[in-house]
Amino acid sequence: MTNQSSRNKSNITKIAITAMLTAVAVVLQYIEMPVPLVPSFLKLDFSDIPELIGAFVISPIYGVIICLIKNIIHLPFGSSVGVGEFANFLMGAVFAFTAGIIYKYKKTKKVAFIACISGALAMSVLSVVINYFIVYPAYAQLWAGGDMNVIIGMYKAILPASDDLIKSLIIFNLPFTFVKGMIDAIITMLIYKPLSNMFVKMNNSINAKSKK
């Protein structure tokens, strides 16, 4: 078997896995759950799990690719004129890439968990920056006539001390995003091994068929 042939088979496997994980991510993005004690527009979904698995199984860049394709597919069906999808891409990409790049250098359960914590932390900090400078100003223009107090009021209704945007984001969005990332990480840790074995069998099957 030549090196070129081996690379081609590896690429076929990567494309097949990426397509499968992207399809799952697209479906999961539509399954949202409200969370108590946070504003109603903050909803929990699990669409970052396939991106994290892709970053672990293939490479960090494939986690980013899955996140990008997922949001491009969702774009025509969103209600935020692309703002929500853009923010989702940035945060999901940072989560998957950060975790993936750490796990890449030492593939153990301990490192995987450290990688997931690091990715969740990076995503939660980025959520504050993105929401403060991009998402909420855009949402205020789209749905509140440019009045940011309408959005802040939704936070104040839960906690009166949340009387400005940055305070609201730090009190609510930062921990919400971190917990969301950790839930995704725990689920990924539970299902990663059987999925990894399945992908290995898929790769072996592709190699076997190519020899016939």
In this predicted structure, what is the pLDDT of residue 212?
A: 55
Consecutive 10-residue averages of pLDDT for the chain (212 residues):
61 90 96 90 94 95 98 92 94 98 92 96 97 94 89 95 95 97 95 82 63 56
Tell me which amino acid residue 125 is: V
Spatial separation of the C-alpha atoms in residues 38 and 190, rounded to whole Å:
27
Q: For 3-201, CATH number?
A: 1.10.1760.20
Write down the domain spans for the chain: 3-201
In this predicted structure, what is the pLDDT of residue 10?
A: 74
In this predicted structure, what is the pLDDT of residue 7?
A: 65
In this predicted structure, what is the pLDDT of residue 206?
A: 62
Q: Which of 27, 103, 105 is nearest to 63 (CA)?
A: 103
Q: What is the DSSP string of 72-129?
A: HHHGGG-SSTTHHHHHHHHHHHHHHHHHHHHHHH--SHHHHHHHHHHHHHHHHHHHHH
In this predicted structure, what is the pLDDT of residue 142?
A: 87
